[in-house]
Structure 1
Amino acid sequence: MESQYVYQKKRADFGRHPLFFDRMAEIQVDIDTNEDDRDDYMVRNPVHAGVQAVVQLSEHYANTDTFETSTKHINHVEGGWPKDINAADMEATSRFRKKTEKDENYSKTIISLGERVEKVIRQNNAIDIYEEYFTDAGIIPTVDEPPRVSTVNLFRDPAGKGARSAINIAWHPDGGKHAAVSYGSVGFQKSLKDLESYVWNVENSKKPLITLRPRSSVLCMEYNPKDSNIILGGQFSGQVCIWDLRKNSPAPTDITAAEVSHRDPCHSALWIQSKTGTDFFSSSTDGTVKWWDTRKLSEPVEELILDPTKQLNPNAALGAICLEYEPTMPTKFMVGTEQGTIIICNRKGKTPADKIAALYQSYSGPVNTIARNPLYPKMFLTVGEWTNRIWSEDIRDSAIVTMKNSRYHTAAARWSPTRPAVFFTAKSDGSIDIWDLMVKQAQPTLNINVSDAPLCSMRVTDNGNLVAAGDRNGNVTLLSLNDALTELQKDEKAFCNFLFERETRREKVLEARNRELRLKEKQKNKPKIVEEDTQEEPTDDPLTDIATELSTVLAAEKKKHPLLERQFSFEIDQPVEDDEEEPQAE
């Protein structure tokens, strides 16, 4: 049944403003109950009803304008250079620029464009854009913040505490988001069952981002600077392997053949600046350095034997522990050996002997790390035994700066990429020393206790704000540096330039003085040798012959034992005065 009620209104009242007023309730419809349905009615007990235990909200809508989004891409080529030219390589850009300037079309284009831009250039030159308008206001003093280091995260080896050591760390080239860590044993001939290495996300320390399973323990790892999906690894077996992270496989994508690889463990492998980005070189304690191409790992491209005598004798080669390569000097590299010698090599030498350019005798033990200063490439830092030294390529006899010996062994060292006066050293007591040459030179500016176990490795990000340190128990500690340790300080470049030049000049003066003293002493001893070589004519008298033979033996013994003839001098490279009387032979 449909209920209807008709509201009646006159035509004249249409559109009139309504006047509402209160009125009593009226019954419009009254429907009687149906008696036939009463028998079908049943009382339900209990009654199940749903209750919403939240705030009741009314349904509402709002009319808003639709915001449409779209995804667009742009192809940006840095600096306008061709794809095969690396904008960071000064030699490649200079060579390409000279080649372009010789083109006839280039000269014609420059002449035609010069007429168009001449007016604009004159307008720009009419205004001094470097004028300072507030010279009288003074400089706002900056707040000197003390150096501070804080722990960000801790990454534990999934194999278990103490099973392996974090022996190498490699940062992702695009920033400090990912870090590849290789694990192994530093014990003598200690075999491991767990050979995995991991790629960690710095924000997640619970689980590795990627697991890498090599055939042998990995001693070193490096990201490809041109393709961050490629990781290079040097193995304990002497082989070198490549991982392509895009294939989602823990096994190496490619590996060098055992018969052409190193005979001893490969301790260091680095990528080389090239157009293709596929070239790298590796070193081992077997005394060889080998160059490879990832497109053909069946055999090395080139090989160098680290023989200091330049005779290319494998038996006399020095075992390599670490490598150092600067992309701005693509043909030069440095090798630190286990005998304590630093070798500077030039790959473009005409003969294999010419490739060994210079030798530096730095330590009596292995050279653990070599690092060039990012602002002054001729200055490099070395770490070995219990001390740190700064060298100049122009001085080969001694280091220009030698730090005080530490009580603990130093395992690794790195320069700060943003501050040329700051470097970091990792020690066997589980701490990191931060050296700031602008503040102190005799002792570290800051000492940070990182772990209870000895540190094995350390690496700094390219922006210099994060430091990762690995210890003997397989833990990797991530440290964050404040602005006092990452931002370039006032007059820091001038200070470093003055310091390095002063120490280099001082060492050159000392070297020249020592050379002069050695020459004088050689000339002073020359007449004695002539007198001793002068022999009297033989005589028939036997007593005379015995006396002559006795004097010859005594002279030879004096040469073997200088203490019989002179006082022992503790001053190095100082001439010994001959004023004292010679001891009489009894």
Structure 2
Amino acid sequence: TGLSFQLASLDQSGVLNFWVVLELPIANEAGSPTDLGLRPGGKVKLLHSSSLLAADRTSSRDAVKARQFQALLLKILPTDSNHFFIGTDLGLVSHGTSHGLKALPKFYRFQEVEERPVDISSIHFSPFKLHLFLVGCGDGSIRLHAVSRDRPVAEWRSSTAGEPLVSLQWSQTRPAVFCGLDAASNLYIWDLLESDAQPVITERLKADRVTAMSVFGDSGQQTYSGVALAHQSGKIELHYFTKAFTASSSAEEEQLESLMTEAF
């Protein structure tokens, strides 16, 4: 009882809405004619608290080249809920704050100077190095960013042979491992300590199209990890990783940080 938390929602025009979710002590079976956030008989109430235009929706400081973008997905910085990250249809990740000073950098980009009209399909922050995040794109390219810099630490353009990326997620037990799923139901496993050029494993899952992926594991015990795959038929499969992709060495985080430093 007494549950209360905040959630955020985003529309394509870049309007970010904040809501407060409250649990009421007693349910009202009749509901409320004025409170549209409470269903009849419900105990959980949704209150709209504030809204803001998450970005000016122009992608360049140059007014001649400036283009309006669509907001496609939203992520909140794990270490500071004031900072939000929005994937766009121009290959950019917009960075802003819900209150206080403006966030820098304003945009995270590809390595090249020119923008590319590509959908950002996935953003995922590392559970170990909280300042690092992966960006997956509609042309199959992958970027690894640090929060403090607008250009990527690393970028891979041809890992999916052009297939759009559906999801990118870090391993929950190994800092240098992440998984990717593309629109052709190909599953990729990357181990940056083994190869920083290409995936170390590619599994082609053609029989029943995979529509979603979720990586799981216990970072505390490191006794198991794997990936859950949702198929078009409605079936959900759990695939467990071997020990090599589950148990990390004591120096793995430092090795990953060293790779990132060399990239800078």
TM over 0.5: yes
Give the CA deviation at 1:462. 4.7
Q: In structure 1, what is the equivalent of residue 43 of structure 2? A: none
Q: In structure 1, what is the equivalent of residue 78 of structure 2? A: 327
Q: In structure 2, what is the equivalent of residue 484 of structure 1? A: 244
Distance (whole Å) between structure 2 residues aligned to residue 486 and residue 343 of structure 1: 33
Q: 1:291 to 1:458 in 2, by over 3 A?
A: same
Distance (whole Å) between structure 1 residues aligned to residue 4 and residue 173 of structure 2: 25
SS of the equivalent of 2:195 reads: coil
Q: 1:286 to 1:356 in 2, by over 3 A?
A: farther
Give the CA deviation at 1:439. 0.4
Give the CA deviation at 1:341. 1.6
Q: In structure 2, what is the equivalent of residue 387 of structure 1? A: 141
Which of 32, 45, 57 is 1:308 aligned to?
A: 57
Give the CA deviation at 1:451. 4.1
Q: 1:468 to 1:292 in 2, by over 3 A?
A: same
Question: What stretches of structure 1 move > 6 A for 4+ residues in a row?
Answer: none
Distance (whole Å) between structure 1 residues aligned to residue 15 and residue 211 of structure 2: 24
Distance (whole Å) between structure 2 residues aligned to residue 327 and residue 409 of structure 1: 26
Is 1:343 equivalent to 2:106 in the alignment?
A: no
Matched pairs, number: 222
Deviations 1:495-549, CA, capped at 9 Å, x for gaps? 1010111112xxxxxxxxxxxxxxxxxxxxxxxxxxxxxxxxxxxxxxxxxxxxx
Q: 1:486 to 1:447 in 2, by over 3 A?
A: same
Q: In structure 1, what is the equivalent of residue 204 of structure 2? A: 449
Indicate conservation of the 8 Å contact 2:170/2:179, yes or no.
yes
Indicate conservation of the 8 Å contact 2:132/2:145, yes or no.
yes
Is 1:373 equivalent to 2:129 in the alignment?
A: no
SS of the equivalent of 1:370 reads: strand
Q: Which runs of 5+ in 2 are unaligned?
A: 23-34, 38-45, 60-66, 111-115, 219-223
Indicate conservation of the 8 Å contact 1:450/1:477, yes or no.
no
Indicate conservation of the 8 Å contact 2:109/2:152, yes or no.
no
The code of the aligned residue for 1:479 comes to H
Distance (whole Å) between structure 1 residues aligned to residue 172 and residue 231 of structure 2: 23
Q: In structure 2, what is the equivalent of residue 239 of structure 1? A: none
SS of the equivalent of 2:120 reads: coil
Q: In structure 2, what is the equivalent of residue 440 of structure 1? A: 195
Deviations 1:325-357, CA, capped at 9 Å, x for gaps? 24322221211112322011212226xxx3686
The code of the aligned residue for 1:321 comes to L
Q: 1:448 to 1:483 in 2, by over 3 A?
A: same
Distance (whole Å) between structure 2 residues aligned to residue 330 and residue 287 of structure 1: 18
Is 1:288 equivalent to 2:51 in the alignment?
A: no
Which of 211, 216, 224 is 1:461 aligned to?
A: 216
Alignment of 1:381-420 (within 5 A): 381-384=134-137, 385-396=139-150, 398-405=151-158, 406-407=160-161, 408-420=163-175
Q: 1:461 to 1:277 in 2, by over 3 A?
A: farther
The code of the aligned residue for 2:131 comes to K
Distance (whole Å) between structure 1 residues aligned to residue 103 and residue 254 of structure 2: 34
Give the CA deviation at 1:475. 3.5
Deviations 1:349-370, CA, capped at 9 Å, x for gaps? 26xxx36861123452110100
Alignment of 1:273-284 (within 5 A): 277-284=4-11
Indicate conservation of the 8 Å contact 2:185/2:205, yes or no.
yes
The code of the aligned residue for 1:386 comes to G
Indicate conservation of the 8 Å contact 1:379/1:392, yes or no.
yes
Deviations 1:433-458, CA, capped at 9 Å, x for gaps? 00000101111111123343543321
CA RMSD of aligned residues (A): 2.7
Give the CA deviation at 1:286. 3.1
Percent of aligned pairs with the same residue? 21
Distance (whole Å) between structure 2 residues aligned to residue 318 and residue 349 of structure 1: 24
Indicate conservation of the 8 Å contact 2:83/2:103, yes or no.
no
The code of the aligned residue for 1:307 comes to D
Distance (whole Å) between structure 1 residues aligned to residue 56 and residue 230 of structure 2: 33
Q: 1:290 to 1:318 in 2, by over 3 A?
A: farther
The code of the aligned residue for 1:308 comes to R
Distance (whole Å) between structure 2 residues aligned to residue 465 and residue 277 of structure 1: 31
SS of the equivalent of 2:203 reads: strand
Indicate conservation of the 8 Å contact 2:165/2:182, yes or no.
yes
The code of the aligned residue for 2:10 comes to S
Distance (whole Å) between structure 2 residues aligned to residue 383 and residue 327 of structure 1: 18
Distance (whole Å) between structure 2 residues aligned to residue 387 and residue 495 of structure 1: 24
Distance (whole Å) between structure 2 residues aligned to residue 276 and residue 442 of structure 1: 46
Is 1:364 equivalent to 2:121 in the alignment?
A: no
The code of the aligned residue for 1:455 comes to V
